[in-house]
A and B are shown apart, each in its own frame.
Chain A
Amino acid sequence: MDAVYRLTNAILGDEADARDAAQEAFVAIWRQLPRLREPERFEAWLQRVAVNAARMTIRSRSRRRVREIPSSTVVARAERAAGAPPDDAAILDAALAALPVDQRAILVLHHLEGRPVAELAVILEIPEGTAKSRLFTARRALADAIEQDRGHRR
């Protein structure tokens, strides 16, 4: 549970959404366990389910239009607004928030979970070349978002 929550939280950047997604992931895992043919492939399957749950949560969040904002997020934003110098985690947090969920997921899987490109392809069920190009695109988008955020802070 800890690992799934860590992944969904890293992708979603929102405690409430991450909790929802982690719970959805476990419900999906419970339902789909009978179809898991090879338990040794469990880890990739688990991460795939968690990424999909994060995607679905983003979608339902956009449909709900109203969502809870956890107090920690509010505090962080307030500190930022008050002019506290942002650390790398805060800069990254703001930049990730500007990216689509799929780009966030591939970045989190690679840079937080340490998955190489070949394993990204397996987890995301895409060809390796596609995984590589999507990772490249996501990194470029993240760089743009960081630059934009930096521009706003000036």
Chain B
Amino acid sequence: MTSGWEDQRLEAAFAARATSATRPIADLTDLTIERLRREPRPRSAVTRLGASAGLAAVLAVVVIAVIGIGFRDRDPLASVSPPGTATIGSAGSPGPSAEPASLPAKSVGAAIAMRDASNESGEIRVAGWLRGGVPVPCPAPMRPYNPTQLWCPQALPWIVESVADSGVGRLNESPSGPGIQPSFALVDADALPSLMFGSAPPAAPVEITVTGHFHDRRATLCSSPGDCWTSFVVDRIDSIGGIARPVTTSYDLAVQAEKGTTSSGLEIPPPTGPAEQFDPAVMSQGHRLAVLSRRVMSIGGLVDAEPALAGGWAAIGTATTVTSITAVETEEGSGPPLPITFLFPDRGPQFYEMTADGPAVAGNLAVQAFPDLLARVGRPLTVSATIERRDHALDATELLVAGWAWAPGSLFCTLIRPGEPVLDQCPSTLTWLADREPPPVKGSAFPRPDGPAINLVIPPESVNLARLDTKPTQVAVLGHFDDRRAAACPSGLVERCRRNFIVDAILDPGRLALDATLATTVHPAPSNIPKGTASWAANAAGLPGTDRPNRLISAFPIAVAALGALEPDLAETSSTAGIDAVWLVHFLDQDVAGNAIVRTRLVIDADPAKGPAQVFDVTADGMSPALSAAP
């Protein structure tokens, strides 16, 4: 304890603080009794405590019990319940749990015990065996739907604790051990083996891990609230058959977003962008939210998922699709990690948090942006979505990623390999982009990410870096994986280089625009004086002034002798033999599949007044004359 604040003084201060607090207890007691009168009467509540009177009596029993037992004259430890029934995410959770995947997996039996121990709707990660349902004829489900209600439960799968308890082989029998029948209504149930929804003979159980919750807010709107209250609503399928699954987007049965039509044939315009585009808005809500799942729905599908909206929702406006994102709070110590559902009406400027009382405005999606930059690269992704993309669909598509970035500042790096612009080496290994602000550090220590993060590899041609600081700052980074220069990395490190995130620009998240002024600034300084200008070089590369906003990333001269530091493959080429300087022009373009990519053109420095410029495309195969550049 700090000097002068030993136990005795501290306890006296606590006591004085408690004594000085105002205590308007009488009215609070009345208010509480009044509120309890409106609560449903719990079964056998009174008899357990030996009282038989009404609400006031129970409250009185509670008060008397507390006063009677006394706060300082406690029962011995043996008389209180043992530890071991901790609620996930409560003070009982070990370590700085941050990711939903790091929620400790519970057995089915433990999950059932948690369900019965509290009315919390905290997220629980359950590991068990998925056992198929029974192939029975089921009537068509009746509206209104409710995700907490199991329709024709005999045909639905179980999650059981062990294969031995699954009851497989005994048709029409429930599992012989602990089992729950989860609702997969809000996730991508296509991921489940279809045999699990009834087959003869019954399918063999498969390992499964899911994250979900009991006591869903929608249970009160269900036709059988008691049953629905104990339904386990799955928010994410973490793994099936031992294979981990990324965060996925599901589509409700009425919407086929890719085709833009419903099963009824009604034309529905597809959403204006991928569901992932809203992840940063969710992350910006604080509370260290992590996305569990996304769902794209028609308005009809929305009502099925959110029965509270059956009476209509004025704010939906003209939207024909709504993206729902379920996230979980991961902030340690803030109580059980509750699921939070956000609704994003398509084309709407605002998004909403769905509560038991209906949607509440959570934020505004409008950002000051040049529309064509977002049209080229899409809305910003989160770092975790970017990592997923790297791990599951590695390519050179240009990405805009929002997060917290920081760099080590002035630092003496040793053992640097020269001429490796896309290799992750100091200081890139200390330069981070993370989904969350890192915990503060003391002294000269470098902040370390707390959650999903990637290193930013910043090659010399990167511009618009003013937002990068030693202090973690919110930024939007334009960059890409799978840079063509990875092939020039040392043998054995090529794949690692392909997975590095190469920065093209670091932007203000409130102003998502490439700054053309900075882009044409000489950078890095050449060792000689160029004859041409940046504007001339950009023109020559095929980007006239009208085409530069939000397309031109950089245009700068460089001495041929130094070219190898930026373009290892061009260090010695016949095309630049005898030439003092060249211009490198980087700009956004599309590949044959329509994906945004960064294209590089090399312009031989020359006097603009003396004839057409020589322009080359720089690709993974080297230099070739640019056919599409301006003459």
Task: Tell whether B87 is near chain A: CB-to-CB under 8 Å.
Answer: yes
Task: Tell whether A98 is near chain B: CB-to-CB under 8 Å.
Answer: no
Task: Tell whether A38 is near chain B: CB-to-CB under 8 Å.
Answer: yes
Q: Which residues of B contact A58 (CB under 8 A)?
A: 334
**B91 near A102: Cβ-Cβ < 8 Å:** yes
Closest to B117 in A: A35
Query: Would you list which residues of chain A between 94 and 138 have a CB under 8 Å from chain B?
Result: 100-103, 105-108, 111-115, 118-119, 121-128, 130, 134
Mark contacts of B326-354 with chain A using CB atoms, 8 A cut-off: 1 yes-contact digit, 0 otherwise. 00010011110000000000000000000
**B2 near A143: Cβ-Cβ < 8 Å:** yes
Asked, given contacts A9-B18, A43-B74, A125-B90, whether A1 binds B63 with beta carbons under 8 Å apart, the answer is: yes
**A146 near B28: Cβ-Cβ < 8 Å:** no
Separation of A126 and B94 alpha carbons in the complex (Å): 9
Separation of A6 and B23 alpha carbons in the complex (Å): 8
**A36 near B21: Cβ-Cβ < 8 Å:** no
Mark contacts of B3-34 with chain A using CB atoms, 8 A cut-off: 1 yes-contact digit, 0 otherwise. 00101011111111110111111001101100
Q: Which residues of B contact A80 (CB under 8 A)?
A: none
**B333 near A33: Cβ-Cβ < 8 Å:** no
Closest to A43 in B: B69
Q: Which residues of A contact B45 (CB under 8 A)?
A: 30, 33-34
Mark contacts of A1-37 with chain B using CB atoms, 8 A cut-off: 1 yes-contact digit, 0 otherwise. 1111110011000010011001100111111111110
Q: Which residues of B contact A101 (CB under 8 A)?
A: 333-334
Separation of A35 and B116 alpha carbons in the complex (Å): 8
Q: Which residues of B contact A40 (CB under 8 A)?
A: 75, 79
Q: Which residues of B contact A29 (CB under 8 A)?
A: 62
Q: Which residues of A contact B23 (CB under 8 A)?
A: 2, 5-6, 9
Separation of A36 and B94 alpha carbons in the complex (Å): 26
Separation of A56 and B287 alpha carbons in the complex (Å): 13
Interface residues of chain A: helix, strand, loop or mixed (majority) = helix
Task: Tell whether B66 is near chain A: CB-to-CB under 8 Å.
Answer: yes
How many A-B pairs have beta carbons closer than 8 Å: the answer is 203
Task: Tell whether A68 is near chain B: CB-to-CB under 8 Å.
Answer: no
**B16 near A23: Cβ-Cβ < 8 Å:** no
Asked, given contacts A26-B59, A28-B119, A92-B10, whether A1 binds B32 with beta carbons under 8 Å apart, the answer is: yes
**A39 near B24: Cβ-Cβ < 8 Å:** no
**B83 near A122: Cβ-Cβ < 8 Å:** yes
Separation of A2 and B49 alpha carbons in the complex (Å): 20
Asked, given contacts A4-B66, A112-B18, A122-B82, whether A143 binds B28 with beta carbons under 8 Å apart, the answer is: no
Query: Would you list which residues of chain B between 85 and 128 have a CB under 8 Å from chain A?
Result: 85-87, 90-92, 94, 116-119
Separation of A15 and B12 alpha carbons in the complex (Å): 21
Asked, given contacts A92-B13, A92-B14, whether A2 binds B62 with beta carbons under 8 Å apart, the answer is: no
Q: Which residues of B contact A88 (CB under 8 A)?
A: 9, 12-13, 16
Separation of A29 and B39 alpha carbons in the complex (Å): 12
Separation of A46 and B334 alpha carbons in the complex (Å): 19
Expressed in whole angstroms, the minimum distance between the Cβ of A62 and any Cβ of chain B is: 7
Task: Tell whether B71 is near chain A: CB-to-CB under 8 Å.
Answer: yes
**A30 near B42: Cβ-Cβ < 8 Å:** yes
Task: Tell whether A79 is near chain B: CB-to-CB under 8 Å.
Answer: no
**B66 near A55: Cβ-Cβ < 8 Å:** no
Q: Which residues of A contact B17 (CB under 8 A)?
A: 10, 89, 92-93
Q: Which residues of A contact B81 (CB under 8 A)?
A: 38, 41, 44-45, 122
Task: Tell whether B77 is near chain A: CB-to-CB under 8 Å.
Answer: yes
Separation of A3 and B25 alpha carbons in the complex (Å): 10
Separation of A100 and B334 alpha carbons in the complex (Å): 8
**B63 near A23: Cβ-Cβ < 8 Å:** no
Q: Which residues of A contact B69 (CB under 8 A)?
A: 42-43
Separation of A143 and B6 alpha carbons in the complex (Å): 10
Separation of A80 and B405 alpha carbons in the complex (Å): 38
B5 contact from A2, A112, A121, A146, Cβ within 8 A: A146
Separation of A10 and B119 alpha carbons in the complex (Å): 25
Q: Which residues of B contact A38 (CB under 8 A)?
A: 81
Q: Which residues of A contact B67 (CB under 8 A)?
A: 2-3
Q: Which residues of B contact A77 (CB under 8 A)?
A: none
Task: Tell whether A153 is near chain B: CB-to-CB under 8 Å.
Answer: no
Q: Which residues of A contact B13 (CB under 8 A)?
A: 88-89, 91-92
Mark contacts of A137-150 with chain B using CB atoms, 8 A cut-off: 1 yes-contact digit, 0 otherwise. 00100111011000
Task: Tell whether B143 is near chain A: CB-to-CB under 8 Å.
Answer: no
Q: Which residues of A contact B7 (CB under 8 A)?
A: 111
Asked, given contacts A1-B59, A89-B20, A102-B333, whether A125 binds B83 with beta carbons under 8 Å apart, the answer is: yes
Closest to B44 in A: A34
**B36 near A26: Cβ-Cβ < 8 Å:** yes
Q: Which residues of A contact B445 (CB under 8 A)?
A: none
Expressed in whole angstroms, the minimum distance between the Cβ of A142 and any Cβ of chain B is: 8
Expressed in whole angstroms, the minimum distance between the Cβ of B448 and any Cβ of chain A is: 19
Q: Which residues of A contact B62 (CB under 8 A)?
A: 1, 26, 29, 46
**A34 near B21: Cβ-Cβ < 8 Å:** no
Task: Tell whether A70 is near chain B: CB-to-CB under 8 Å.
Answer: yes
Separation of A153 and B353 alpha carbons in the complex (Å): 41
**B66 near A70: Cβ-Cβ < 8 Å:** no
Expressed in whole angstroms, the minimum distance between the Cβ of B118 and any Cβ of chain A is: 7
Separation of A32 and B45 alpha carbons in the complex (Å): 8
**A124 near B21: Cβ-Cβ < 8 Å:** no
**A113 near B28: Cβ-Cβ < 8 Å:** no
B22 contact from A72, A91, A146, Cβ within 8 A: A72
Q: Which residues of B contact A31 (CB under 8 A)?
A: 39, 42, 119
Separation of A61 and B85 alpha carbons in the complex (Å): 27
Q: Which residues of B contact A5 (CB under 8 A)?
A: 23, 25, 28
B49 contact from A10, A39, A112, Cβ within 8 A: A39
A46 contact from B50, B66, B116, Cβ within 8 A: B66
**A112 near B48: Cβ-Cβ < 8 Å:** no
Residues of A within 8 A of B (CB): 1-6, 9-10, 15, 18-19, 22-23, 26-36, 38-46, 52, 55-56, 58-59, 62-63, 70, 72, 87-89, 91-93, 100-103, 105-108, 111-115, 118-119, 121-128, 130, 134, 139, 142-144, 146-147
Residues of B within 8 A of A (CB): 1-2, 5, 7, 9-18, 20-25, 28-29, 31-32, 35-36, 39, 42-46, 48-50, 55, 58-59, 62-63, 65-67, 69, 71-72, 74-75, 77, 79-87, 90-92, 94, 116-119, 286-287, 329, 332-335
Q: List 11 A-B contacts (CB under 8 A).
A: A2-B67, A9-B21, A10-B21, A19-B24, A27-B32, A32-B119, A34-B48, A41-B79, A88-B12, A91-B13, A126-B83
Lowest 8 A-B CB distances belong to which pairs? A33-B45, A143-B2, A102-B333, A88-B13, A89-B17, A89-B16, A55-B335, A44-B80
- Beyond A22-B32, A93-B17, 17 extra complex contacts between A and B, CB < 8 Å: A2-B23, A19-B28, A22-B28, A28-B119, A32-B119, A33-B49, A43-B66, A46-B62, A46-B65, A89-B20, A91-B13, A92-B13, A102-B332, A112-B11, A122-B83, A124-B91, A125-B86
